[in-house]
Amino acid sequence: MKRKGSSPTMKDVAREAGVALGTVSKVFNGIPVGEEYKRRVEEAARQLGYQVNNYARALKTNRTRTAALILPNTVNPFFALLAGDVCKALARRGYRMLLALSDADPDAEQQCVRMVEQNKVDGIIGLTYNPALEINESVPFVSIDRYFGPAVPCVASDNFGGGQMAARKLMELGCERLLFFRIGSDVPGEADKRGDGFQAACQQAGIGCSTLLLRDEDGYEPFRAFLREHLRDGKLDFDGIFCNTDRLAYHVCRMLQGMGVNVPGDAQVIGFDGVRRFGSEALYCSTIAQPVTQIAETAVDILLQEDRGHLPSLICLPVSYIGDGTTKG
Amino acid sequence: MKRKGSSPTMKDVAREAGVALGTVSKVFNGIPVGEEYKRRVEEAARQLGYQVNNYARALKTNRTRTAALILPNTVNPFFALLAGDVCKALARRGYRMLLALSDADPDAEQQCVRMVEQNKVDGIIGLTYNPALEINESVPFVSIDRYFGPAVPCVASDNFGGGQMAARKLMELGCERLLFFRIGSDVPGEADKRGDGFQAACQQAGIGCSTLLLRDEDGYEPFRAFLREHLRDGKLDFDGIFCNTDRLAYHVCRMLQGMGVNVPGDAQVIGFDGVRRFGSEALYCSTIAQPVTQIAETAVDILLQEDRGHLPSLICLPVSYIGDGTTKG
């Protein structure tokens, strides 16, 4: 590693270019000066390796080229993917990313917002659990997975379509007795539409669908009890199970294995998310995969859009089915 | 969500407090004024919900209370854990975190450094792959996992001790023919000491140790070929394998399974990292677990230390063995 000495200042650039300090300032702030002056200042800045002080520029232009991302954590691999893709989408557009983690706690989220507002960010992208979040209206905000109303753009997967896709795929693969398992936050969100889509597709096909809907606090054990209750002579009452996350599908497959129910022979299981072992190795189960990169790119595009008068209130991006081991196809 | 109107300014605070604008400025910048003035300004700021503009303050105090973290990506679950823990360690100390992702590309890392330097961060924590990285000497820098020399503090796991621990654990569990598998970057780093420690412990115990050391570009297939070559009549030449990452151990266990070698019956496998399925579920294998939270806390403590004259050049934090399925204990 090389440690460089102190950076050149605007005065150094002015001296090198042979112009007045005010001329350098004008060039750096985009105020018109003669072409020849502009060329000399830019040449001198390049030669000296002058870095424009973004803090000083931010005060003048009211732009910091910094956006914040608020997430519950980076441990959940879906959030980890999202953090990486938002960071890269911002970097491609010349923006830096402040990361703030809230642990899905409403008060912590409000503190995150306060904290990033203090830094005069150009915008905030948030995957939040606080329906009453207060955000300064001068700060552009894009929500992921949670719809706040027409004035706040929300970007999400096509959760409803994904739920339908899971039901139709299970039926196509021969399932006749369907079950939907859900665990999650009790704050309403776009992800709730996974179950709505699944049940709508079942109803449309004229077949029944059992459900068990739990909150995170309930843990995974009630699913095991439910499965045990529906196990008669080693045979499960259901032959197709849709879980609202890959993580739940992973638990359910292990529970079934422990009960002697063969997956996918006796029961086929589809999860949702499309997360992979070690972030990029094998999937955990057959799944409805979220388009994480497109979610990130779309959220950043909307965040940085100049015309704030005509923004969509909800954008749902297409998901895709990937069969991998826990279904027959 | 509530969208608030525009924020109060210093002028509003001055009016509310019934003092001059300069008095407000002094209070916000820690310049002494009379106690009564100070009280009135603080009371008015509180009542109006005035947010100190950190950009303006940064220009005056040369402090931004922002630090940057440079990582290759957030997809690798070890990096995802580290990103989360560094972010939380900074937040606990009132600091925000800029995240910059380099994809382990040396040029991209240099660009990350330039980019964060432009934002006048108070320091940088980097897990980098560029031994020639240039960093302005006025910016505190703490390296993770890569030692640059005595002037740049480096925080890492006790990789050497972890390698020794793996060898001794395998011997304790009855292994006599040991193998070390390594895949990684060809830039020298602290993680190389995992193999050094493993081999040192073997030598000390007077038993041999075979090795296969590969670079990331080589991929995992040469490990499979090596294992096949050492398989005679369905029996592997080795009964204890130490892999330098959990990810490699995961691949090796699948390869062995495919060859009919029982893990842990015929061969015991230990990985390194301690990463978990979905970030917080089951481990992938028996492992030497890195103390990620302590690495993050230590790196942040060193980064923010006022006295930069007496910093350690290398801090190695203790790892721990966790047996989980791929060893006999």
pLDDT for A2: 77
Looking at chain B, which residue has its C-alpha nearest residue A111?
Answer: B91
Query: What is the band of B224 on the pLDDT scale with cuts at 50, 70, 90?
Result: very high
Q: Is the fold of A10-52 the same as that of A66-157+293-317?
A: no
| A51/B114 CB distance under 8 A | yes
Note which residues in 208-247 of chain B have CB less than 8 A from chain A: 246-247
Which single residue is written with the structure tokens 């300014």? B9
pLDDT tens-digit series, residues B101-110: 999 999 999 9
CA distance B270 to B178: 11
CA distance A38 to A26: 9
B100 contacts in chain A (CB < 8 Å): 87, 91, 96-97
Is the pLDDT assigned to residue A7 strictly greater than 90?
no
pLDDT for A69: 97
Is the pLDDT assigned to residue B112 strictly greater than 90?
no
A91 contacts in chain B (CB < 8 Å): 100-101, 115
CA distances to A109, B18, B121 from B80, rounded to whole Å, are 20, 50, 22
Q: Does A131 touch chain B (CB under 8 A)?
A: yes
Is the pLDDT assigned to residue B79 strictly greater than 70?
yes
Query: What is the band of A21 on the pLDDT scale with cuts at 50, 70, 90?
Result: confident
| Contact predicate A198/A242, CB 8 Å | yes
ipTM of the complex model:
0.81
Domain ranges of chain B: 10-52, 66-157+293-317, 159-291
pLDDT for A137: 86
The yes or no reply on domain A66-157+293-317 and CATH 1.10.4080.10 is no
pLDDT for A30: 67
Least confident of A50-59, A112-121, B187-196, B310-319: A50-59
Query: What is the band of A45 on the pLDDT scale with cuts at 50, 70, 90?
Result: confident
Which single residue is written with the structure tokens 């150094």? A12
Query: What is the band of A309 on the pLDDT scale with cuts at 50, 70, 90?
Result: confident
Which residue out of B2, B4, B55, B293 would a mutagenesis test of the A interface target, given it has the greatest number of A Cβ atoms within 10 Å?
Answer: B55
Which is higher by pLDDT, A308 or A327?
A327
pLDDT tens-digit series, residues B85-102: 999 999 999 999 999 999
Stretch (H or E) spanning B160:
helix B159-172
Angle between helices B246-258 and B221-229 (to 10 degrees): 50
CA distance A200 to A211: 13
Beta-ladder partners of B273: B289
> If you average pLDDT over residues A143-165, what whole number do you get?
95
Look up residue B59 and give its DSSP letter.
Answer: H
Which single residue is written with the structure tokens 């790196």? B299
CA distances to A220, A265, A274, B27, B40 from A249, rounded to whole Å, are 11, 16, 11, 56, 58
Is the pLDDT assigned to residue A6 strictly greater than 90?
no
Amino acid at B220: Y
A77 contacts in chain B (CB < 8 Å): 77, 80, 278-279
**DSSP-assigned letters across all residues of B258-319:** HTT--TTTT-EEEEEE--BGGGTS-BSSEEEE--HHHHHHHHHHHHH-S-TTS--SEEEE--
Mean pLDDT of chain B: 92
pLDDT for B53: 58
Q: Does B25 touch chain A (CB under 8 A)?
A: no
Beta-ladder partners of A268: A240
Length of chain A: 329
Q: Which CATH number fits domain B10-52: 2.60.120.1140, 3.40.50.980, 1.10.3720.10, 1.10.260.40?
A: 1.10.260.40
CA distances to A190, B18, B199, B200, B264 from B238, rounded to whole Å, are 52, 82, 15, 18, 12
Query: What is the band of A179 on the pLDDT scale with cuts at 50, 70, 90?
Result: very high
Stretch (H or E) spanning A81:
helix A77-92
In terms of C-beta density within 10 A (0-12 exposed, 13-18 middle, 19 or more buried), how is residue B231 classed? middle
Which is higher by pLDDT, B6 or A240?
A240
Which is higher by pLDDT, B59 or B13?
B13
Shortest distance between the Cα of B133 and any Cα of chain A, in A, equals 5
pLDDT for A280: 93
Chain-centroid distance of CA A265 in Å reads 34
Which is higher by pLDDT, A32 or A315?
A315
CA distance B108 to B131: 13
Nearest neighbour of B138 by CB, restricted to A6, A53, A138: A6
CA distance A11 to B158: 47
Nearby residues of A168 by Cβ (< 8 Å), 6 or more positions away: A201, A205
Percentage of chain B beyond pLDDT 90 is 72
> If you average pLDDT over residues A83-111, what whole number do you get?
94
pLDDT tens-digit series, residues B58-76: 555 667 889 999 999 999 9
Q: CB-side exposure of A172: number of CA atoms within 13 Å?
A: 12
Note which residues in 262-301 of chain B have CB less than 8 A from chain A: 275, 277-281, 284
Q: Does B308 touch chain A (CB under 8 A)?
A: no
Stretch (H or E) spanning A10:
helix A10-17
Is the pLDDT assigned to residue A269 strictly greater than 70?
yes
Mean pLDDT of chain A: 92
CA distance B124 to A1: 13
| Contact predicate B212/B224, CB 8 Å | no
Is the pLDDT assigned to residue B2 strictly greater than 90?
no
> If you average pLDDT over residues A74-92, what whole number do you get?
96
pLDDT tens-digit series, residues B190-214: 999 999 999 999 999 999 999 999 9
Is the pLDDT assigned to residue B55 strictly greater than 60?
no
Q: Spell out a b/e string for A234-260, using b for 16 or more CB atoms within 10 Å of the CB, else e.
A: eebebbbbbbbbbbbbbbbbebbeeee
Beta-ladder partners of B92: none
Phi, psi of A257 (to 5 degrees): -55, -45
> If you average pLDDT over residues A14-26, what whole number do you get?
86
Is the pLDDT assigned to residue B28 strictly greater than 90?
no
| B138/A76 CB distance under 8 A | no
Q: Does A308 touch chain B (CB under 8 A)?
A: no
| Contact predicate B276/B324, CB 8 Å | no
Q: Could you tell me the fold of the domain covering A159-291? A: Rossmann fold (3.40.50)
Nearest neighbour of B279 by CB, restricted to A75, A96, A115: A75
pLDDT tens-digit series, residues A210-261: 999 999 999 999 999 999 999 999 999 999 999 999 999 999 999 999 999 9
The size of the A-B interface in CB pairs under 8 A is: 199
Is the pLDDT assigned to residue A105 strictly greater than 80?
yes
Q: Does B1 touch chain A (CB under 8 A)?
A: yes
pLDDT for A103: 93
pLDDT tens-digit series, residues B122-140: 999 999 999 899 988 889 9
Is the pLDDT assigned to residue A53 strictly greater than 80?
no
